[in-house]
Structure 1
Amino acid sequence: CVKNVLNGIEGGLFIAKRGLEANVEEKIAKGWDMLERNASFLKTLVLDMLDYSKQRPPEYEDVSISGLIAEITDFVGGRAAKEGIDLVVDIGSAVDNVRLDPTRMKRALLNIVANAIEATDEGGRVSVVVTPKADTHLLITISDTGKGIPEDKLDTIFEPFFSTKGSKGTGLGLPVTKKIVEEHKGKIEVESQVGKGTTFRITLPLRQS
């Protein structure tokens, strides 16, 4: 994975250099685009690796879950609109304040929402629903109407370096998400049907002991 990215950066540099030498704008633009794409992927890969390898407890704060979800949907909303995907958020009024590490939980949820948008075709739907679960927990349900995950792959999607996106994925996004959720004493579950979509359910305690 890293080798492929480095090869992409090297290829982008080569094309951009040839473009500069020949003063061909098209080659310069192509090389620069390759550099940008591979540098962005490398950044994501490094951040995922750091997150996965970190052994530190969450830095808990009292957080508005509606505010946290709004930050995530604001970040990916433009992409969803561009792809013609309906992004829907439903947060129960009975649930808002929860104690968690906002930076890490935002990363965990963003991984799933971004994956859902990527897996969904134009005209599809991605939903984020937050509901109370008893008096002690909240349930975050993220669903899409995308391609779905084959049943024989469901047991492996949380394993490091496994990706349903081939060379486009780092293979660490979902393992990082699972690690963060479990560090919060929570639980993550997934259901999927090929051709119909995928649903992730994350259960988190409202307070931390």
Structure 2
Amino acid sequence: MMDKLTEQQKKHMAEAGQVVLNMSHGIKNIAQSMRSGREVMDKALESGDLEAAKRTWSILRQNLGRIEKLVLDMLKFSRDETPNLKPCDFNRLVESVVEMLRPQADQRKVSILVQVDENIKQVSMDPEQMADVVMNLLINAIETVESKTGQVIVRTELDAKSQQVVLRVSDNGGGIENINQIFEPFYSTRPNVGAGLGLTITRQIIQNHAGTIDAQSVPNKETVFTVRIPANSPNS
């Protein structure tokens, strides 16, 4: 029967198998962590140590969030949805995502600087998908840099010559090795964190907006992700 399958069908089957393998591996790691946390929680409750119970519950909640993100990433990757384009204020969307993630940055004592180009007006895009793009890039940057000394810079600009809106997210982390592989499915620079699909999904979204994304990295200095999408509707 395998001989009758087309190369495309074989590729899809291989990708589906890889999805299941990575998902099961990720959930297994999280489950092991939660099992240990449950044991600590039981002991804390038995001894009446509420502070220890609170700390453990916080860790358990983080692991539940990891499972949720893992499942959502798998769904987004498999669906590859067509964007629902509508006129949106690009700068305000970027600023709103930054404010949403600022508590996470503050917790790690990472500074975020935002510089927006007010020449950017309404941009035709899917606001939910584009918010996912900004969020993915920001979370990666926040979690990559060193605590207390980390800095993330978010810039928007209008490239009048190419009629593109540009988003740059840079950080002063340690840089990225094998940078040519970072957009490939299931590739991750942080083992046991997610399924390695965040940047793959980000690239899918940008390409579906008729845009591009690239990354440049200088070891021990900075990493810069640059997103470009049309300033007007791709269908206009």
Q: Report the number of matched residues.
A: 207
| 8 Å Cα contact 2:91-2:118 kept in structure 1 | no
Residue 199 of structure 1: aligned partner: 224
> For 1:75 and 1:22, how far apart are their aligned partners in 2?
37
Which residue in 1 is equivalent to 2:108?
83
CA apart distance, 1:130: 1.1
Q: Do the aligned partners of 2:91 and 2:117 also contact (CA within 8 Å) in 1?
A: no
Matching of residues 10-21 of structure 1 within 5 Å = 10-21=35-46
2:195 aligned partner, one-letter code: T
CA–CA distance in 1 between the matches of 2:141 and 2:52?
34
Return the alpha-carbon distance in structure 2 between the equivalents of residues 23 and 81 of structure 1: 31
Choose the corresponding residue for 2:153, options 102, 122, 127.
Answer: 127
138, 141, 146: which is aligned to 2:168? 141
Question: Amino acid of the residue matched to residue 149 of structure 1?
Answer: I
Give 1:54 shift: 1.1
Q: Are 1:171 and 2:196 counterparts?
A: yes
Distance 2:50 2:111 in 1: 37
Cα offset for 1:47? 1.3
1:90-118 alpha-carbon deviations (Å, 9 max, x no partner): 11121121010000110111111111122
C-alpha distance in 2 between matches for 1:132 and 1:70: 16
Matches within 5 A, 1:100-115: 100-115=125-140
Contact kept, 8 Å, 1:145 with 1:198, in 2: the verdict is yes
Judge conservation of contact 2:170–2:222 (CA < 8 Å) in 1. yes
Cα shift at 1:125 = 2.3
CA 1:30–1:126 in structure 2 vs 1: closer, same or farther (change >3 Å)? closer
In 1, are the aligned partners of 2:80 and 2:204 still within 8 Å (CA)? no
Give 2:234's aligned residue.
208
1:33-48 alignment to 2 at 5 Å? 33-48=58-73
Output aligned runs, 1:7-86, within 5 Å. Answer: 7-21=32-46, 23-25=48-50, 28-29=53-54, 31-86=56-111
The 8 Å contact of residues 12 and 33 in structure 1, kept in 2 or not, is answered as no
Task: Tell me how large the CA RMSD over aligned residues is.
Answer: 1.9
Q: Which has the larger radius of gyration?
A: 2
Q: TM-score if structure 2 supplies the norm length?
A: 0.80
- In the alignment, the residues of structure 2 paired with residue 79 and residue 30 of structure 1 have an alpha-carbon distance, to the nearest angstrom, of 17
Deviations 1:20-40 (A, max 9, x none): 455554664454234212101
Q: Distance in 1 between matches of 2:149 and 2:40?
A: 37
Give 1:140's aligned amino acid.
L
Match of 2:20 in 1: none
TM-score normalised over the length of structure 1: 0.89
Instruction: Provide the residue aligned with 2:6 in structure 1.
Output: none
Report sequence identity in percent. Answer: 29
AA matched with 1:192: S
